[in-house]
Amino acid sequence: MSKHEEFNKLYQYLDYTLHELPAGVLYDANGASESQCVELMKATYQLEELANQLGEDIDNFLTFCRWHYERYPHYLSRQRHFVTYDHYLDKYGGLLKHET
């Protein structure tokens, strides 16, 4: 697989993990766990490296992904206080879409 194909595949997957917002972060077809959010965060660094190699500017997308991958586990640990991820996003000012 070429670097460009790898970049596109990883970008599309990370985009997919956030397409259900404000419901939550996905991992495959299910909601992500804390450890899966760690894996997703690591994937953002892989994507960033590929983007740099290819000259792609995806800073806004990476910021968007990292915000959710960092905070979704916090929401999960305190879910009874927030009820829904949407309420969590309202309280902490989370974005629902990234700027392209």
**Does residue 99 surpass a pLDDT of 70?**
no
Mean pLDDT, the chain, as a whole number?
94
Going by pLDDT thresholds of 50, 70 and 90, the confidence category of residue 98 is: confident
**Does residue 100 surpass a pLDDT of 60?**
no
- The pTM (predicted TM-score) of the whole model is 0.92
On whether the CB atoms of residues 59 and 49 are closer than 8 A, the answer is no
Taking each helix axis as running N to C, give the angle between helix 59-77 and helix 34-54, from 0 to 180 degrees, rounded to the nearest 10. Answer: 170
Alpha-carbon distance of 76 to 19, in angstroms, equals 18
Q: Determine the 3-state secondary structure of 33 from DSSP.
A: coil
pLDDT for position 95: 81
Q: What average pLDDT does range 10-29 have in this prediction? A: 96
E strand spans, the chain = 26-27, 30-31
Q: What average pLDDT does range 36-59 have in this prediction? A: 98
**Does residue 6 surpass a pLDDT of 70?**
yes
